[in-house]
A and B are shown apart, each in its own frame.
Chain A
Amino acid sequence: MSTAPPRNSEASSSSAGPRSSEAPIIRLQSVDKVYRASHGHAHALYAVDLAIERGEVFGIIGRSGAGKSTLLRILNLLEQPTSGTVLIDGQDITRLGSKDLRYLRQKMGFVFQQFNLLRSKTVYENVRLPLRVAGDMTVQAQHARVLEVLDLVGLAKHAHNYPRELSGGQQQRVGIARALANHPSVLLCDEPTSALDTETTRSILSLLRDINQRLNLTIILITHAMDVIRATADRVAVIDYGRIVESGAIVDVFLKPQHPTTQALLAEASFEAGSHPPTSWQQRGRGRVLRLTYRGTVVATPLLTSLAEELGQQFAILEGSVGRIGAMPYGDLIIGTQEADEQQLRRLLDALVRRGVDYEVLS
């Protein structure tokens, strides 16, 4: 199941010794990509550093042309980086010979935006293709594996259909089954839901999430849609003009977006947290307006009620959302207080700190 070492004893000796499960499965170090064109250069990636942990779903988000596709394609060397190293299981894949590189790619599934199924072949033959390419299974074993992955994606009944007979969502399921067939250690997904409608997107994303959980498979997913990241990823990196401008656990990025691009992407997704301009509440009598963000167990406590009882103050909820991002419960509220002097405000803020709630005084 492991990507490395390929059938090359020299290459593997450099990364000998037991690896801790903490070691990232993929690590990029100062990766640059420059496209040389007849009229000057196009710098697609600048000094990208990235570490992707084993078993996580890692999202890469950015606008079109930000370099996210290039970044993904560098991970299995469909694109060669201009400089920098790409370590997979501790091994620098930019130094692999063509045979080892083919073997590496056989062990990394790739899911395409446009599915890229062979139209002349049945679903069954499409999914069997990677096994034929790898060529290390008997025909019976291939048959069993094809049926197994088709079952996993819920398409066992359609094995003998041709791609054009399937809906877009079903075609993408075939694409995913094909990517999974040869027991990859990593699944690379290039905008897997961009060609699909909302409902189908949801089902494909939950399939990916399910695969991640069941097979403990590392998934790297690029998208331009925050909703996709929110539904699927554990961590996210935001890429803008070839640079990673922000990265972290998705709860952090969603609740406390630092970079303007992240904020803009969140706003476009019309996702409540972090998307509203706080200025809209600034002229409101002599009361104060605060933004509270919190997560984890505190979400399940009667936060405002307990504050009201403790401080003898009352609060209005002006705006906000409460819910979950991935498995993490979160709250993001904008509240208004009654007329409050400095001392009352101080007591409120202290009470918030004690409860582990982040705040921002908006007015």
Chain B
Amino acid sequence: MDAFSSVHPSLWADLIAFDYWPEIGQGTLDTVVMTVVSLVLTVIVGLPLGVVLFLTGGSQRSDKPLLARAQSVIHAVLSLLVNVLRSVPFLILLILLMPATRELIGTSLGVAGSIPPLVVATSPFFARLIENLLREVEAGVFEVCRSLGATTRQTVLWALLPESVAGILGAITVTTIALIGYSAMSGVIGGGGLGDLAVRYGYQRFNTPVMVITVVILVVLVQLIQIIGDRVVTRLSHR
């Protein structure tokens, strides 16, 4: 730190005197709120969606022909929906969803207005992660549940999800980081948060310090989440 301040003796003084700290503080808080609320909603939507995708997928279909047919139709429809939502670029999705968002929560701007498009964008992504995770669960786990006479609900809640809990937390980490990235992008259409700050001050008003500081904060946030996520996964993993 000494070497650093000797090269730029005025840097710390400049940083302390920086005018935009209140905005940056608010922006950081907004980003965290957007991310957390969207994450919770994404898990609420995406986890069941992933489980349904898995259960209606090839390996888990019923041996009764009619039921298997219904399952494959459900799978095809959900799968198409997920693929469509995942292939639309997020910026386009943001714009496409503006009327619906306004209808739903009264505004398409700010923190609240960003949340619906974020959830719509990340839920299909999260659902696919979950589906793939569940496919990795050993066949033996299903064998056990069948041999015990468990219902599908019991199998999912008591065996499948507990067996993949470490993977699910990994998926949540990845999704959180994707959400931080997306939430910054929603700044382009006035979404609030650090991205909004970077666009309005850094891009439109050529305020490089604000731009740099927001980027640094985003990097730190992502790093923190990854480290915490990895630790929790290691703790919960019983392999």
Nearest chain A residue, comparing its CB with the CB of B63: A80
Tell me whether B147 is interfacial, beta carbon within 8 Å.
Answer: yes
A104 to B162: give the CA distance in the assembly, Å.
26
Give the distance to chain A from B222, nearest Cβ to Cβ, in Å. 28
Task: Assess the B148–A114 pair: CB atoms within 8 A.
Answer: no
Give the distance to chain B from A36, nearest Cβ to Cβ, in Å. 12
Contacting residues of chain A (288-316) with chain B, CB-CB under 8 angstroms: none
Give the distance to chain B from A235, nearest Cβ to Cβ, in Å. 24
Task: Assess the B149–A101 pair: CB atoms within 8 A.
Answer: yes
A121 to B239: give the CA distance in the assembly, Å.
11
Chain B positions within 8 Å of A114 at CB level: 140
Chain A proximity mask over B131-168: 1 for CB below 8 Å, otherwise 0:
00000001011011111111100100011001101100
Chain B positions within 8 Å of A110 at CB level: 144, 147-148
Question: Between A and B, how many residue pairs show CB distances below 8 Å?
Answer: 65
A102 to B154: give the CA distance in the assembly, Å.
12
Tell me whether B235 is interfacial, beta carbon within 8 Å.
Answer: no
**Contacting B148 at CB < 8 Å: which of A119, A120, A129, A162?**
A129
A102 to B151: give the CA distance in the assembly, Å.
8
Task: Assess the B149–A105 pair: CB atoms within 8 A.
Answer: yes
**Contacting B238 at CB < 8 Å: which of A78, A103, A119, A132?**
A119
Nearest chain B residue, comparing its CB with the CB of A100: B149
Tell me whether A112 is interfacial, beta carbon within 8 Å.
Answer: yes
Q: Is the interface of B mostly helix, strand, loop or mixed?
A: helix
Nearest chain A residue, comparing its CB with the CB of B147: A110
Task: Assess the B146–A105 pair: CB atoms within 8 A.
Answer: yes
Chain A positions within 8 Å of B166 at CB level: 120
Chain B proximity mask over A156-175: 1 for CB below 8 Å, otherwise 0:
00000011100000000000
Give the distance to chain A from B98, nearest Cβ to Cβ, in Å. 43
**Contacting B149 at CB < 8 Å: which of A102, A116, A121?**
A102
Give the distance to chain B from A37, nearest Cβ to Cβ, in Å. 15
Chain B positions within 8 Å of A105 at CB level: 146-149
Task: Assess the B63–A116 pair: CB atoms within 8 A.
Answer: no
Tell me whether A318 is interfacial, beta carbon within 8 Å.
Answer: no
Nearest chain A residue, comparing its CB with the CB of B139: A116
A108 to B149: give the CA distance in the assembly, Å.
9
Task: Assess the B143–A112 pair: CB atoms within 8 A.
Answer: yes
Task: Assess the B158–A129 pair: CB atoms within 8 A.
Answer: yes
Task: Assess the B63–A118 pair: CB atoms within 8 A.
Answer: no
Chain B positions within 8 Å of A116 at CB level: 138, 140-141, 143-144
Chain A positions within 8 Å of B147 at CB level: 76, 78, 105, 108, 110
Residue of B141, B147, B162, B236 contacting most chain A CB atoms (<10 Å): B147
A-B contact pairs, 24 of them (CB 8 A): A102-B150, A102-B151, A104-B149, A105-B147, A105-B149, A106-B148, A106-B149, A108-B147, A110-B147, A110-B148, A112-B140, A116-B138, A118-B141, A118-B162, A118-B163, A119-B163, A120-B165, A120-B236, A121-B162, A129-B144, A132-B154, A133-B150, A133-B151, A182-B148
Beyond A105-B146, A132-B154, list 12 extra A-B contacts (CB 8 Å).
Answer: A78-B143, A102-B150, A105-B148, A105-B149, A108-B147, A112-B144, A120-B163, A120-B166, A133-B145, A133-B149, A133-B150, A133-B158
- Shortest 10 CB-CB contacts between residues of A and residues of B: A105-B149, A116-B140, A102-B149, A110-B147, A106-B149, A120-B162, A133-B150, A116-B144, A162-B238, A119-B238
